[in-house]
Structure 1
C-alpha cells in the first residue's frame, strides 16, 4: 500500500469518474420522508455477544466466525421517521427469525436519522443471546456532502458513539469495524482527489475507533480499485439486476438475461485479498414523475430473478465474502422484503396492498445455502407465487407515464414450489385457464400466463389430495388500472 500524507488544503477537483448512465446506477435516491418462523433451523457460526463483554470476547467471536459467509439486508433509515425502539426490535426479530445476519443501516445527512440509528443501536444492546444480529453503517453519499475536511464530522458523529457496541459487525479476518457507502466515488474531503480523500477520512476515523474495514459501493470502473488504497473491498450494488436490457434487446437475451458484472469486481479485488460483497434483489420498479424525483423505470424482474441470482451466488460462493440483500424496506424502488411500515417516500400509490413478506421466507432457503454451503432439507410442501397487478400494455389515467422499459416484462405469474415428494402442481388465473405440472421432490421453478381481470392461485396435489395451496384472494390482474403499477404482489401458502 502506498504511503499517504495529508495536506490542509480544501476544495480541489475530484478524480472520480462519472458513469454516463446515472439512472442505471440507481444513483438518484428519494430523500427521506418526515410471522411466524418457518421450519429451517439456524445455521452454524452464530456466536452471540452479550452487551458489555470485553474486547477479548469480541475477538474470540471474530475468530470463530472467520469460516462462514454472511448475509445482511440493506435498511433505509430514511424511511423510519416515526420509528420507536419497539419498531426496531420487531424488524430485528423478524429478520433474525429468517437467519439474516444483520442490517446495513443506510442513512443520509438529516439529524433525525442519527436519532433513529441511536434508537436502533440502543435496543440492539438489549438483544438476548438467542438473536445473533449485527449492524454496519452505509453512508449515503448521494445525500451526505464529502467535499471538505469539515464533512468528515458526520462520520465521526456516527462512529464515535457506536463503534464499541458489541452488535457492530467486525470483519472476521481482522476484527475491524466494517462500514460502507452508497456512492461517494467523487468525494475528496478537501484532499484534492478521491484516493486521498477517503484515505484522509479513514485516518480521521482511526483516531476514534482504530482501524476500520471499508467496503463501499463506488460507481467506477473496478480497475480503479487498486488506486484507492482506503478501500478494503467493494460492494457491487447493481449486480443483482439485468441493467443492460432495453426494449430493443433481442428476446433471447431478455429471457436469458446475464448477471455477470461480479466478475470484474472479483478480478480486481482478488490479488489484494480484499472483501467482495455481492448484491441480490427480487425486483425493481420506481414511479416518480418529473415534478418529483424523476425516477420512472423498471429492471426486468421476471424469470424468477431473485431465485436465479441466489443460485448464481451459491455457485460462486468461494469467490464471494458477503451478500447484501437489496432491500429490507426501500419502498420507492419496490425491492423490499420486509413489512410495509414507517414513512414511505411518497410511494403509497404503488406499494400499499402489495406485501413482499413471502419473499423474505423464500429468501431463507437460498441464503442458508450461501451461508453454510449446503441447501436445507425441504420438510414442508410450500408454494411461493408473485405477479404484477395489471397487463403491461394497459392504459391508466396516471399523470406519470408508463415506466421506461415496461416492454421488458411479461404478463406472467412466477411460482416456486418446495415439494417433499413427487406431486402435481396446478396454477391458474381462472378455472378455465388451469395449467398442470408434474414436479419432483425438491425445489421447482414454474410459471403460467395471467388473464386480465383474473386472479392467481396454485395448488400442490399428492395422491389426489390437495396438500397445500396459495390463493391471494385480494389479488386481481386489473385490465383497467388507476395508476401504472409494475410492483409485485407476493404470496405464499401457509
Structure 2
C-alpha cells in the first residue's frame, strides 16, 4: 500500500533533517591565486623553474599561459619546468582569441590546448576538472571564419571535440560593462559552456576611462553577485600598473585627438604607485571571490608585471623592477587566502615612482602620452611595520617626515629631480634606509613605467 500524502511529507522532512546533520557537506573551495603569464619568450627550463619557485614562494598557485598562437615547444618547457620543480605548482591555459601580426589560434589548436596536458601532474584543476580560460572569444565574427554560426556554437564544438563539455572548467574573459545585468546577460548567453566569468578590464583597471586614480570594487561586486545568482564562479584581477608607449605610433592624429580606441601609445589604467595594488587587494579580500588572477606576471611591453626580470624578453625594462609589488603582494595573497591579515614579523619599506615629471616635454618622442595629465608627480613609500615608527621621505632637496603606525600605510611626497630616499627610524635609531637606484630627471622617451624597490627585495 502506498504512503498517504501526509506520510510522504513527514518522511521527506525526516530525510531533509537527517541530511542536514549527517550528509557530508561539500568542502569550501580553496581561495586560489594565479598569475597571467605571457608566453612569448624562448627561455630555458632553468629560468622557468626560477620563476615558478619565486611565484610559489609568494603564494601564487599557478601560471595561466597566455598566447594567441600555438607555441608548443614553449608550453612543453613550462610544463616540464613545473614537473622538475617537484612541487604543487600548476599550469593552465589562457587562450588569447585575437588576430595580430603573429597570427592567431585556430579551433583545432584550442582542442589541443584542452587535451594535450589534461592528465599532466601539474595541470591546474578546479573542482576536479582541468581549468581553462580565455582572453576574449565571445565575438561571433572570429568564429565565422571557421564556419561557425556563433561564438557559442564554436565553443560547444571545441569542447565536444576535446572529450565533452563536462570534462573542463571554463572561466573566460568575455568583456562586459561591469553592471550586474551586463555580467549576468553575458554569462547566461554562454551558460552552456562557461563555468565562471573572469573580469580583466573592469576589475584590474577601467582601461576605457580617464579616471585612473579611483579604483572601485563596485564592478567586482556586480560580477560576484551575478555569478553567484546563476551558479557561476567569479575570477577577479588585481594589477600593479599598465603603461604603454610604442615609439613610432605615438604621434598619430588619433593620439593628438585623444581618441582612445585608435591611439596605440596611451596610458591605460595608470594608477599611482602602490595605490591600485593595495586598494584592489583590500577590496577583493572583503569580497572574497573564489579565484584571483594577477594581470600580469610578465607583460613587459605594457609595463604590467610583477615578475623579476629573469626572462630574455625583459631586457628593455630590466632597470624598472616591479619586485616591490610582488613582495608586498605576498602579504595580501596570504590575507585573501586565510581571511585574516598575517602577522607582520619584520619592518619593511616599499618605494614606487616614475622617473620623470608628467609635465616634461620631449620633442624627440613626438607627442605627450594620452591622459598623462591625470598623473601626479609623487614619490610613494608604503611602510609595513611591527610597531610605530617614523618614515622620512627625501626627493631631491625636499623631505617630509611622517609618524607611521604599526601595520601597512602609504606615504607620499611631491617629487623633485634627483635621488629618492626613505628612512625608517624608531626610538631615535635608524632601522633601515631605502634608496632608489634610478634618480628622477630628464628622459629621452616618455616613460611612466613605475620603478619600485623595497628593503626586503632580493
TM-score (ref. length: structure 2): 0.83
Q: Distance in 2 between matches of 1:344 and 1:243?
A: 25
* Conserved? CA contact 1:471–1:493, under 8 Å: no
Whether 2:87 is the aligned partner of 1:135: answer no
Cα distance in 2, alignment partners of residues 161 and 193 from structure 1:
26
Superposed counterparts of 1:476-487, under 5 Å: 476-478=439-441, 480-487=442-449
Alpha carbons 2:217, 2:284 under 8 Å: kept: no
Check if 1:312 corresponds to 2:283. yes
Match for residue 154 of structure 1 among 105, 109, 124: 109
Tell me if structure 1 keeps the 8 A contact 2:378–2:412. Answer: yes
Q: Distance between the aligned counterparts of 2:123 and 2:348, measured in 1?
A: 35
Q: Is the counterpart of residue 466 in structure 1 residue 435 in structure 2?
A: no
SS of residue paired to 2:301: helix
Deviation, 1:72, is 0.4
Structure 1 residue 295 displacement after superposition: 2.3
Aligned pair partner of 2:384 in 418, 424, 447: 418
Distance 1:255 1:144 in 2: 31
Tell me which of 257, 272, 277 is aligned to 1:302: 272
Q: Deviations over 1:258-285 (max 9, x none)?
A: 3432233223321222110000001010
Q: In structure 2, do the counterparts of structure 1 residues 85 and 155 end up closer, same or farther at CA, with 3 Å as the change threshold?
A: same
Instruction: Report the counterpart of residue 346 of structure 2 in structure 1.
Output: 380
| Residues 64 and 459 (structure 1), Cα distance of their counterparts in 2 relative to 1, 3 Å cut | farther
Q: Residue 332 of structure 1 aligns with which residue?
A: 301
Correspondence 1:116 to 2:50: no
1:179 pairs with one of 124, 132, 142: 132
Distance 1:333 1:255, change over 3 A: closer
Instruction: Report the 3-state secondary structure (helix = DSSP H, G, I; strand = E; otherwise coil) of the residue aligned with 1:401.
Output: coil
Q: By how many angstroms is 1:333 displaced?
A: 1.0
Give the CA RMSD over aligned residues.
2.5
Which residue matches 2:220?
A: 262
CA distances 1:163-221 after superposition (whole Å, capped 9, x unpaired):
1011111113xx111101111111435330122221221111125x9610110011244
Structure 1: runs of 5 or more not aligned: 1-62
Aligned 1:7-406 pairs, distance under 5 A: 66-78=28-40, 80-81=41-42, 83-110=43-70, 113-128=71-86, 131-143=87-99, 151-172=106-127, 175-186=128-139, 187-188=142-143, 190-206=147-163, 211-220=167-176, 221-222=182-183, 223-228=185-190, 229-238=192-201, 239-243=203-207, 245-246=209-210, 255-289=213-247, 291=249, 295-298=264-267, 299-302=269-272, 304-317=275-288, 320-344=289-313, 348=316, 351-406=317-372
- What is the alpha-carbon distance in structure 2 between the residues aligned to residue 273 and residue 266 of structure 1? 10
User: Conserved in 1, the CA contact under 8 Å of 2:344 and 2:407?
Assistant: yes
Could you tell me which residue of structure 1 aligns to residue 258 of structure 2? none
Find the counterpart in structure 2 of residue 37 from structure 1. Answer: none
Task: Give 5+ residue unaligned stretches, structure 2.
Answer: 1-24, 177-181, 251-261
Contact 1:180 1:216 survives alignment (8 Å): yes
Structure number with greater Rg is: 2
Q: Distance between the aligned counterparts of 2:318 and 2:133, measured in 1?
A: 30
- Tell me the CA shift for residue 352 of structure 1: 3.6
